[in-house]
Amino acid sequence: MTAPKKADLEYAKSQLKQAQIAFKSTSALIEGKFASPDELKTREAVMEGAQALVDISKQRLADMKILAPFSGVVV
């Protein structure tokens, strides 16, 4: 059951990486005045959304762990 959650996390990480690359590219284009500041803001918002998805995926995966208040083995 954790495999789909791990896959979701990996997908979210790949989306974040793509958003970061797009943001950096747009930042470089802004310096040469080939992109508008609004486009950079849009790329930044997409990057922040992708980071939020990574955070949510990590939390969902962590929530799947069962922790007992004591140590021992269940038989």
Q: What is the pLDDT of residues 16-60, one digit of tens each?
A: 999 999 999 999 999 889 999 999 999 999 999 999 999 999 999
Distances (CA, A) of 2 to 6, 8, 60, 67: 6, 10, 10, 15
Residue span of the structural domain in which 38 resides: 2-63
- Name every residue whose Cβ is closer than 8 Å to that of residue 30 and which is 6 or more positions away in sequence: 36, 37, 39, 40
Whether this model's pTM surpasses 0.85? no
pLDDT of residue 66: 79
* Confidence grade of residue 68 (pLDDT, cut at 50, 70, 90): confident
42 within some domain: yes
Residue 70 lies in a domain: no
Number of separate domains in the chain:
1
- Is 71 contained in some domain? no
Domain assignment of residue 72, yes or no: no
Q: Rounded CA gap, 65 and 34, in Å?
A: 48
Q: How is residue 10 written in tokens? A: 């990996």
CATH number for the domain harbouring residue 51: 1.10.287.470
